[in-house]
Amino acid sequence: MSGESLSAELVYSLLLMSIAGVAAWWSRYIIENIVALRIAVFVGVSSSIFMIINFPG
């Protein structure tokens, strides 16, 4: 077991990505707002790209 952990930026990116996923689902099925859905998807994809670029190793 190694002692490595995720950096703060990666943790925030994971958190933002998961919140954006829930917001996208909520926007699609509960409030049925396509604009909010597109914003949530954009935020989720952007945070995942940020996470991939900044992943160590």
pLDDT at residue number 41: 96
Q: Which of 52, 51, 53, 48 is nearest to 8 (CA)?
A: 51
User: Structure pTM?
Assistant: 0.81
pLDDT at residue number 56: 73
pLDDT in tens, the chain (57 residues): 455 788 888 889 999 999 999 999 999 999 999 999 999 999 999 999 999 898 876
pLDDT at residue number 2: 59
pLDDT at residue number 8: 87
Domain definitions of the chain by residue range: 8-53
With a CB cutoff of 8 Å and minimum separation 6, the contacts of 20 are 40, 41, 43, 44, 47
